[in-house]
Amino acid sequence: MKKNIIFTGGGSGGHLMPAISLILKLEKINDFNISYIGGRNGIERKEINKLGIKYYPVFTGKLRRYLSVENFIDLFKVFIGLIQSVIILSFYKSKNTLIFSTGGFVSVPVVIAGWIIRKKIFIHEQTSRVGLANKICSRFATKIFVSFSDSLQFFPKGKTILSGNPLREEVYKTSVLKIIIDGIVINDIKRPVLFVTGGGNGALILNELIKRNLMELEKKYFIVHQVGKKFIDEYRLLKSENYLPVEFVDQIIDLFKIAEVIISRAGAGTVCELISLRKKSIFVPLKIAQKNEQYHNAMAAQKELGSIVLNEDDLLRIDLIGMLDEVKKSNTDSLMKNDVLKASDIIITSIVQYFS
């Protein structure tokens, strides 16, 4: 009889990507029947459907730590989502079923429903500071996996495991695929490559930092700058022999490997990928991120690799060229040596042991 693993979580790529990484590995094990419970309109629905995984949409409501009229509306949505989740999960036998949550507000009604009808629950926390959803879900979980050692303090010792963050398989390969952007083969660039990214949507503050320093940067680096859809028209006008603005980069892991220096926001997935690649980087955490979680993520990279962490308010006063030179010296022979135990392997071993 096949074992059922029901994933839940979403609302952002940070919650979704660990789930996808685990799903892709679990699919290679024939013993598992995998499905997903997520939001009706969340990013997770589109991405999970691409994988051909059975998807159950439920109502969700945002969890807020402050008073708002919307809290009452969303509380009603959460209640509906809870009822929907109970109905969905009731079709799965408890002894053959495991719920795996990667956080986000969509996970709360699913986890509570699972606990009500006696399903086993594993959760994973991506950030160094705990989100409210996972704080709630941890009360009902059998096992809790965390990406950063700093997160251990927020969960009960007896059921918490430091696993790391499940990453894309490309991170663990020392090979680099050919990267072609606007007809340019980035692998063939002779000068040091600087990669700047504010995430998929770009970041105005990072874009402006590069624009202010562009003349000096072009003297020493070939710059690949992921500016985001909103800003691409403006920055395309600045394109030159050594400056390549792009809306979005598909092969971001390969570009991480090639780049001598990276300037980035500090989402948990990005930080964990760069730590695994042993890439000392320059992080500019998003100041308004919940509980300043990006700052703490970046500080984990500073502790591990000596990465530089900058506050948004300091960007007008820094010696950017000097910082880049410092980081570049540290990144010689920085590709990961494939002797690191993968987070996905640690988690999947625990899943297999549960069903044994």
Q: How many structural domains compose the chain?
A: 2
Distances (CA, A) of 145 to 86, 186, 258, 276, 340: 24, 37, 31, 17, 17
Asked whether residue 127 carries a pLDDT value surpassing 70, the answer given is yes
Q: Which two tokens stand for residue 50?
A: 């691409």
Percent of the chain whose predicted confidence (pLDDT) is above 90: 76
250 plus 309 within the same structural domain: yes
What confidence tier does 20 reach under pLDDT thresholds 50, 70, 90?
A: very high
347 plus 244 within the same structural domain: no
Task: Answer yes or no: is 235 within a domain.
Answer: yes
Distance of alpha carbon 143 from alpha carbon 148, whole angstroms: 16
243 plus 162 within the same structural domain: no
Asked whether residue 291 carries a pLDDT value surpassing 70, the answer given is no
> How far from each other are the two terminal CA atoms of the chain, in whole angstroms?
12
pLDDT of residue 200: 80
Instruction: Let me know: does 224 contact 259? Beta carbons within 8 Å.
Output: yes
Asked whether residue 66 carries a pLDDT value surpassing 60, the answer given is no
Asked whether residue 307 carries a pLDDT value surpassing 70, the answer given is yes
Which phi and psi angles does 36 have, rounded to 5°?
Answer: -145, 135
Task: Answer yes or no: is 159 within a domain.
Answer: yes
Q: What is the pLDDT of residues 173-182, one digit of tens each?
A: 889 999 999 9
154 plus 10 within the same structural domain: yes
CATH number at residue 53: 3.40.50.2000
143 plus 288 within the same structural domain: no
What confidence tier does 336 reach under pLDDT thresholds 50, 70, 90?
A: very low
313 plus 232 within the same structural domain: yes
- The structure tokens 């909103």 sit at 230
Is residue 122 exposed (0-12), middle (13-18) or buried (19+ Cβ within 10 Å)?
buried
- Which of the two residues, 218 and 267, has the higher pLDDT score? 218
3-state secondary structure of 340: coil
pLDDT of residue 290: 61
48 plus 184 within the same structural domain: no
Task: Answer yes or no: is 37 within a domain.
Answer: yes
Task: Answer yes or no: is 336 within a domain.
Answer: no
The DSSP output letter for 105 is T
Query: Burial code of 277-296, b = ≥16 C-beta within 10 A, e = fewer?
Result: bbbbbbbbbbeebeeebbbb
Going 182 to 253 to 103 to 66, the CA torsion angle's sign is negative
Q: Give the structural domain span for 292.
A: 174-330
Instruction: Let me know: does 236 contact 315? Beta carbons within 8 Å.
Output: no
Query: Which residues, including other chains, have CB under 8 Å from residue 139's CB and lie 6 or more apart?
Result: none
pLDDT of residue 335: 46
pLDDT of residue 332: 62
Asked whether residue 137 carries a pLDDT value surpassing 70, the answer given is yes
Distance of alpha carbon 179 from alpha carbon 189, whole angstroms: 11
Start-end of H helices in the chain:
13-26, 43-50, 69-89, 107-116, 132-137, 204-220, 232-236, 252-258, 268-276, 293-305, 320-330, 343-355
The DSSP output letter for 147 is S
Q: What is the pLDDT of residues 67-104, one digit of tens each?
A: 666 667 778 888 999 999 999 999 999 989 999 999 99
Task: Answer yes or no: is 308 within a domain.
Answer: yes
Start-end of H helices in 6-68:
13-26, 43-50
Give the residue-averaged pLDDT of 111-125: 97
Q: What is the pLDDT of residues 141-172, one digit of tens each?
A: 999 999 999 899 999 999 999 999 999 889 98
What confidence tier does 2 reach under pLDDT thresholds 50, 70, 90?
A: confident
Find, among 48, 43, 268, 13, the residue nearest to 60 by Cα.
43
25 plus 141 within the same structural domain: yes
pLDDT of residue 339: 44
160 plus 192 within the same structural domain: no
211 plus 132 within the same structural domain: no
Find, among 257, 313, 310, the residue nearest to 282 by Cα.
310
Q: What is the pLDDT of residues 215-240, one digit of tens each?
A: 999 999 999 999 999 999 999 999 99
Distance of alpha carbon 37 from alpha carbon 119, whole angstroms: 14
Task: Answer yes or no: is 180 within a domain.
Answer: yes
255 plus 239 within the same structural domain: yes
18 plus 153 within the same structural domain: yes
Between strands 120-125 and 97-101, the pairing is: parallel
pLDDT of residue 191: 96
Task: Answer yes or no: is 238 within a domain.
Answer: yes
Distance of alpha carbon 39 from alpha carbon 2, whole angstroms: 26
Find, among 64, 17, 23, the residue nearest to 43 by Cα.
17
Arithmetic mean of pLDDT over the chain: 91
